[in-house]
Chains A and B, each alone.
Chain A
């Protein structure tokens, strides 16, 4: 199979090449459209302020500067907010993975009364109007002394990402042949032991895919982070910090874009490294969807 792939390009005739031209043009267009805004963000971060919005836009800056990155990194609490965002996001994603894995396993592999209702509830939970729950969540957090805490944000982000995670993991587990586990069980493993030893490694891509989705959601969230962290400013997160480059005279766009670039970087890096796993993970997970 790999041999066929390797010889593929060699066998291609000019006519075939020509036939593939529209395909490649389409691909090039897709890449261009996807990347242009990303490129604009990154390049703006390197432009001197005066060139950022000028009457004749430049696609390649004629002067480069690191000033905006310096401003961004030197802004108050840069490291602190990074740490907070990382803690909250990682906490929410891991919690959601652990909880979802159990639920997904139960739904995909076991029969029990209430299973259908549970699956339906998970789907309906996906529709939760989070932007309106902010007031009740605030009241509950206030009355239980949970305002100003990163743990509160962690729990909310966990809940926001949980339904999606269960849905995708459920489908994923369903595609792993149960015979593998049964074989292990015959060899003397317990049911869960068999799952852990045999199926869990096969789940890696699915776990990656869902955790990245959760990561993006939690990493970007602003409204709750702004509303629930009040007096304890050390607990602010990155999206709130992003808005600190606005002042009475407008926004320091260079610094905002530099900050956004730094802000997007972890997601981008993780994504690019795991890209293949993410793709196959979503596929397998969704087939059963």
Chain B
């Protein structure tokens, strides 16, 4: 009869479980007071210390607003934001990757902030953040922070190979130096086959683009002569190390690979250097930063401006408070602090001097002048989700016919770009 007892216990547990569930839910969502503000920031977009400092200062300045910052994970974030925008009780401010804003703006789920542009100092916003944040002439995303890739290099290995980092101004010089570094058990550069942000930069340098708009329709443009030249350079550079050709820089995290002391350079945001030093303290102080060399010596290479915008969902119940938050966090005071704390490029060009003392940020700022964004269309999110660019790169690097693969990838991009519109 032990089983009868078991059955009894089961039913009991079930009842408690269910009542506990519902109890929880009502407790959590019931406090819809006018002043409670929920903000979604992405994991690691701000450090814990910065978040604490900001929250304390914000609640002191605005005692009527009860601020809750929730950290979101990268995995499945697209679906999560979609679910939030369509809900009746959305979070009030959401951090959205700059390339993702257009698709949400198009859906009508975001609050139009065009009228507030002047109030927020929109005149000097970074183009790479402000342009993707707008859709059909209206501003939905407010520039939050930017980061672009630089060359993170090992000072000691450069010295041993007799390479002067300051003299690396052109791609040719860069290739020659990397060849010198790729010796004696060391990799000249660890560049994975699918680091498509880097490829985008090379393509822009050649005068090409990832996709172009022709007659109201977006088309993949990886098969133009300029884009192919960019890929050829990528291939030459990639061969000067042992980066896997069928993986991207996150798999394994390239900072961890560099921490093993066998790699002279990686292409990364400056924050990557902190991870290297954290994994292997012996490398602390041995890491330097370079803007990615350009085609000619007179200007550094074009880079993809990565970063985030802040958006206010139309379904937010506290839009005024939300705007107050956006204004504070994207304002000059906190932007300077944020850029210093996180090695970011601040959201306005007028604030660039704030980070001049930080070598990583300085190298980044030099590149940021050549910052570009991905095509500003709602369909771009679909391209990133499927990422035919990555497949193309792997195919080209593993002996596929570059031109044919590029045409194939461009076709896939065209399909994805126009699928959403």
- Asked whether, in the complex, the Cβ of A230 is within 8 Å of the Cβ of B87, the reply is yes
Min CB gap A41→B, angstroms = 16
Interface size class of B (residues with CB under 8 A): 35 or more
- Asked whether, in the complex, the Cβ of A204 is within 8 Å of the Cβ of B80, the reply is no
- Asked whether, in the complex, the Cβ of A230 is within 8 Å of the Cβ of B83, the reply is yes
- Asked whether, in the complex, the Cβ of A235 is within 8 Å of the Cβ of B271, the reply is no
Q: How far is the CA of A240 from the CA of B25 in the complex (A)?
A: 18
B11 at the interface (CB under 8 A from A): yes
Q: How far is the CA of A79 from the CA of B350 in the complex (A)?
A: 45
- One of B2, B21, B74, B87 near A154 (C-beta < 8 A): B21
B359 at the interface (CB under 8 A from A): no
Contacts A49-B279, A154-B18, A228-B83 known; A94 to B260 CB distance under 8 Å? no
Which chain B residues (231-273) contact chain A, with CB distance < 8 Å?
Answer: 249-257, 259-260, 268-269, 271-272
- Asked whether, in the complex, the Cβ of A230 is within 8 Å of the Cβ of B80, the reply is yes
B115 at the interface (CB under 8 A from A): no
Q: How far is the CA of A250 from the CA of B107 in the complex (A)?
A: 30
Residue numbers in A under 8 Å from B71 (CB-CB): 76
A163 at the interface (CB under 8 A from B): no
Min CB gap A119→B, angstroms = 25
Contacts A88-B21, A91-B17 known; A234 to B28 CB distance under 8 Å? yes
Min CB gap A181→B, angstroms = 15
Q: How far is the CA of A145 from the CA of B87 in the complex (A)?
A: 10
- Asked whether, in the complex, the Cβ of A147 is within 8 Å of the Cβ of B70, the reply is no
Min CB gap B345→A, angstroms = 15
B20 at the interface (CB under 8 A from A): yes
Residue numbers in A under 8 Å from B24 (CB-CB): 149-150, 234-235
Min CB gap B52→A, angstroms = 14
Stretch at the interface among B88-96, B369-377, B401-409: B88-96
- Asked whether, in the complex, the Cβ of A148 is within 8 Å of the Cβ of B25, the reply is yes
Residue numbers in A under 8 Å from B60 (CB-CB): none
- One of A50, A90, A98, A231 near B279 (C-beta < 8 A): A50
Residue numbers in A under 8 Å from B42 (CB-CB): 248
Residue numbers in A under 8 Å from B259 (CB-CB): 50
The residue among A138, A204, A233 with the most chain B CB atoms within 10 A of its own CB is A233
A2 at the interface (CB under 8 A from B): no
Min CB gap B81→A, angstroms = 10
A279 at the interface (CB under 8 A from B): no
- One of B2, B18, B44 near A91 (C-beta < 8 A): B18
Residue numbers in A under 8 Å from B14 (CB-CB): 90-91, 94-95, 98
Q: How far is the CA of A60 from the CA of B83 in the complex (A)?
A: 44
Residue numbers in A under 8 Å from B252 (CB-CB): 52-53, 250, 253
- Asked whether, in the complex, the Cβ of B21 is within 8 Å of the Cβ of A250, the reply is no
Min CB gap A201→B, angstroms = 5
A251 at the interface (CB under 8 A from B): yes
B333 at the interface (CB under 8 A from A): no
- Asked whether, in the complex, the Cβ of A249 is within 8 Å of the Cβ of B91, the reply is no
Q: How far is the CA of A151 from the CA of B11 in the complex (A)?
A: 16
Contacts A98-B11, A138-B86, A249-B272 known; A235 to B255 CB distance under 8 Å? no
Residue numbers in B under 8 Å from A109 (CB-CB): none
A17 at the interface (CB under 8 A from B): no
Min CB gap B263→A, angstroms = 12
1/0 per residue B39-75: CB within 8 Å of A? 0001110000000000000000000000000110111
- Asked whether, in the complex, the Cβ of B7 is within 8 Å of the Cβ of A227, the reply is no
Residue numbers in A under 8 Å from B414 (CB-CB): none
Which chain A residues (69-114) contact chain B, with CB distance < 8 Å?
Answer: 76, 87-88, 90-91, 94-95, 97-98
The residue among A49, A226, A247 with the most chain B CB atoms within 10 A of its own CB is A247
Interface size class of A (residues with CB under 8 A): 35 or more
Q: How far is the CA of A226 from the CA of B259 in the complex (A)?
A: 33
Min CB gap B39→A, angstroms = 11
- One of B7, B75, B255 near A246 (C-beta < 8 A): B75
Q: How far is the CA of A160 from the CA of B294 in the complex (A)?
A: 55
B84 at the interface (CB under 8 A from A): yes
1/0 per residue B9-21: CB within 8 Å of A? 0110110011011
Q: In this complex, what residue of A is CB-closest to B1?
A: A201
Contacts A90-B17, A94-B10 known; A226 to B76 CB distance under 8 Å? yes
- One of B13, B21, B70, B272 near A150 (C-beta < 8 A): B21
A13 at the interface (CB under 8 A from B): no
- One of B44, B84, B269 near A230 (C-beta < 8 A): B84
Q: In this complex, what residue of A is CB-closest to B38?
A: A231
1/0 per residue A23-54: CB within 8 Å of B? 00000000000000000000000000110111
- Asked whether, in the complex, the Cβ of B73 is within 8 Å of the Cβ of A244, the reply is yes
- Asked whether, in the complex, the Cβ of A226 is within 8 Å of the Cβ of B80, the reply is yes
B275 at the interface (CB under 8 A from A): yes
- One of A90, A142, A230, A249 near B250 (C-beta < 8 A): A249
A130 at the interface (CB under 8 A from B): no
Q: How far is the CA of A247 from the CA of B256 in the complex (A)?
A: 13
Q: How far is the CA of A253 from the CA of B71 in the complex (A)?
A: 20
A123 at the interface (CB under 8 A from B): no
Residue numbers in A under 8 Å from B254 (CB-CB): 250
Q: In this complex, what residue of A is CB-closest to B3?
A: A201
Residue numbers in A under 8 Å from B88 (CB-CB): 142, 145, 147
Contacts A94-B13, A226-B76, A227-B80 known; A250 to B25 CB distance under 8 Å? no
Residue numbers in A under 8 Å from B73 (CB-CB): 240, 243-244, 246
Residue numbers in A under 8 Å from B18 (CB-CB): 91, 95, 151, 154
Residue numbers in A under 8 Å from B250 (CB-CB): 249-251
What are 18 A-B contacts defined by CB distance under 8 Å? A49-B279, A50-B256, A87-B21, A142-B86, A148-B25, A149-B21, A151-B25, A223-B76, A226-B79, A226-B80, A227-B76, A231-B70, A231-B87, A233-B70, A234-B24, A247-B44, A249-B275, A250-B253
Taking A200-B3, A246-B43, A248-B269 as given, write out 15 further A-B residue pairs in contact, using a Cβ cutoff of 8 Å, ordered by the A residue number.
A52-B256, A53-B256, A90-B14, A98-B11, A138-B83, A142-B88, A147-B88, A147-B89, A149-B21, A151-B18, A226-B76, A227-B83, A246-B73, A248-B43, A248-B44
